[in-house]
Structure 1
Amino acid sequence: MATTGLPPAVDADVARVTEALHMITPRWNVRILLALNEPPQRYTQIANKLPYLHSGQLHPKIRSLCDAGLIERTEHSAHHVTYGLTQRGRQLLPVLGAIAAWAEEHLEQPEQSLSAIEQIEDSLTLLTRRQAPAILWVLKARHEVSARALARIVIPDGYWTSIYPPLRQLMDDGLVVTAGKGQPYRLSPGGDGLGHVFGALSMWAAGRPMDHAARHPLWGRLDRRAMTAPGTWVSHPSRLPVPSARPAPAVQTQPAHRPAWQNGDLFSHATAPRPIPALLAGGVRR
């Protein structure tokens, strides 16, 4: 059933990406997935990497990620159980890398540097705001649009002024801008820069290779002056079998931005309490 006024295939694409975001955004999920980016480990090994999580917090998180198909539990014997990423879980790691790269380029930079994990967590908080994916989708497609027209597409069954709270939140976050009261809304440079992130999320959610992200009919194209038909882009169930081959890095449609982190650096700041730094002006707000 459609949840927006977008074409059915586009509506399904937005729904898949929204589901994927809500799967990985809950607190600690990213840290657990990255802690498992190694050969399968015992529960105690995972717990030692995440000392700020009590067993009562860690075990339910691992179980939910197993249910989501991102982690697999292997019982070798009654007293020997290991946990590791599934193939689908491993294919999510390049998506997290794309999110970290976007954060490094577009988020406000605090006085004290943050780990890649914290960059990803801050970005996911912005992208899972209420109605955020659908609003960003429409603004990417239409270039600019009035609040009333945006409401007709994003919340076709609701009263049109209900679009203002999520729209103002995205403006406060720095992802959407407008020239003033009564003027149309458009993506900020940071919002427009989400193309690679949403393209990667869309491909992962549809079970497609990551190198197809640049072919996405909306987020992979440079010209966004008008909404076009989805062409051969068709709806897929959210949990299709994934290809057996490891996906290649996504093709960049903009100048390459190399993240300043490597897998071995992800936990460089993980165990310390996170400070609340003073933020500098400019960039998308955290």
Structure 2
Amino acid sequence: MTTTGLPRSTQLDIARVTESLEMITPLWNVWILMTLSAQRLRYTEIKPRLPWLNDGTLHPKLRKLTDAGLVERTEVEKGHVTYGLTGRGADLMPVLTVIATWGDTHLEKPLAKNKATGKLERVTQVAPAQNIEDTLALIGPRHATPILWALKARGASSAKALSAAAMPNHRLSNVYPQLDRLVEDGLVRKDGHVFDLAANGHALAPVYRALTAWAIGRPLADTDAHPVWGEKPPPAQARSGPWLTTQSRVPAPAAPAPAEAAPALATHPPATTWQSTDLFSHQIPARPITLPQAGGPRR
């Protein structure tokens, strides 16, 4: 369990959420889970939906997701094996919807060339799985959630107070790189020597409420009374600067599309839930562009 200087009940919540994030944060896990969200599939049916994953990557990830209890491997008959979500995995889908919504609202939209005009324009829709992965790149690093949780619980704090609350087993100097990354990512703001949640950090409340509910096996409808994240977020503030410390998000190269495919720049608003055909924003990309996880490479 993650050790913090926070009350034991809060420590337990942070530990559960951190463990949940460790299951879904590894690269491509979200794409695999969402691919299996509509129906059970054979391996030969999964692979064409995720063409950038070779056997050496897809097989181990399916095995780890199975070991984590999110994916179920069923041998229908000899040589006929299917993969599908377990009940636990299916319960995760509404949580991913909440995370995708936060990403779509608070992450900077990428630029893409308009095929009609040849000009770079902001896209209006990003694949839900990409929004989820980009959001997890911000809150998934080891100490990000304890620090954000401590700021939400305690309000504006000094680095020394945050080190004692969120990283008590580490030297004070170790908290500064973590805080600097969260500031650059737009989740924390700094005023002199004092740190506080930025508007985007407060807006993570639905994400952490949903993750907490899933971690303890409760329905999302029961999350409003969360002891730390149950408050309404403050009014949205204008976003400035890059959303990620590494680079701005760029669109995935599109796979050859049939004649009736939608134009490169979608004009309809993004949905808050997805169907199997919505997994990749209505078109399977040849390979999504992956970003290094904020603060370092993905675990």
TM-score band, normalised by shorter chain: 0.7 to 0.9
Letter in 2 for 1:201: L
Letter in 1 for 2:85: L
Letter in 2 for 1:18: T
2:279 is aligned to 266
Q: Tell me, yes or no, if structure 1 residue 120 matches structure 2 residue 120.
A: no
Q: Tell me, yes or no, if structure 1 residue 138 matches structure 2 residue 161.
A: no
TM-score, scaled relative to structure 1: 0.80
2:255 is aligned to none
Report 1:270-281 matches (<5 A): 270-274=284-288
CA distance in 2, matches of 1:36, 1:65: 12
Render the CA deviation track for 1:167-218: whole Å, top value 9, x for unaligned.
10101111000123x2x11111111000000000011011111111212111
Render the CA deviation track for 1:253-285: whole Å, top value 9, x for unaligned.
xxxx974563231123542344699xxxxxxxx
TM-score, scaled relative to structure 2: 0.76
Q: Tell me, yes or no, if structure 1 residue 218 matches structure 2 residue 231.
A: no
Aligned length: 243
Render the CA deviation track for 1:82-101: whole Å, top value 9, x for unaligned.
11100110110111110111
Letter in 2 for 1:272: A
3-state SS in 2 of match to 1:214 = coil
CA distance in 1, matches of 2:181, 2:93: 28
1:221 CA drift (Å): 2.3
RMSD (Å) for aligned C-alpha atoms: 2.1
CA distance in 1, matches of 2:289, 2:208: 29
Report 1:1-286 matches (<5 A): 3-112=3-112, 113=123, 114-180=126-192, 182=193, 184-222=194-232, 259=271, 262-263=274-275, 264-267=277-280, 268-274=282-288
CA distance in 2, matches of 1:93, 1:276: 22
CA distance in 2, matches of 1:149, 1:39: 48
CA distance in 1, matches of 2:76, 2:289: 41
The question of whether the paired residues in 2 share the 8 Å contact of 1:31 and 1:117 is answered with yes
Letter in 1 for 2:285: T
Render the CA deviation track for 1:17-72: whole Å, top value 9, x for unaligned.
11111110111100100110122111111112111111121111101000000000
Render the CA deviation track for 1:127-147: whole Å, top value 9, x for unaligned.
112310000001111121111
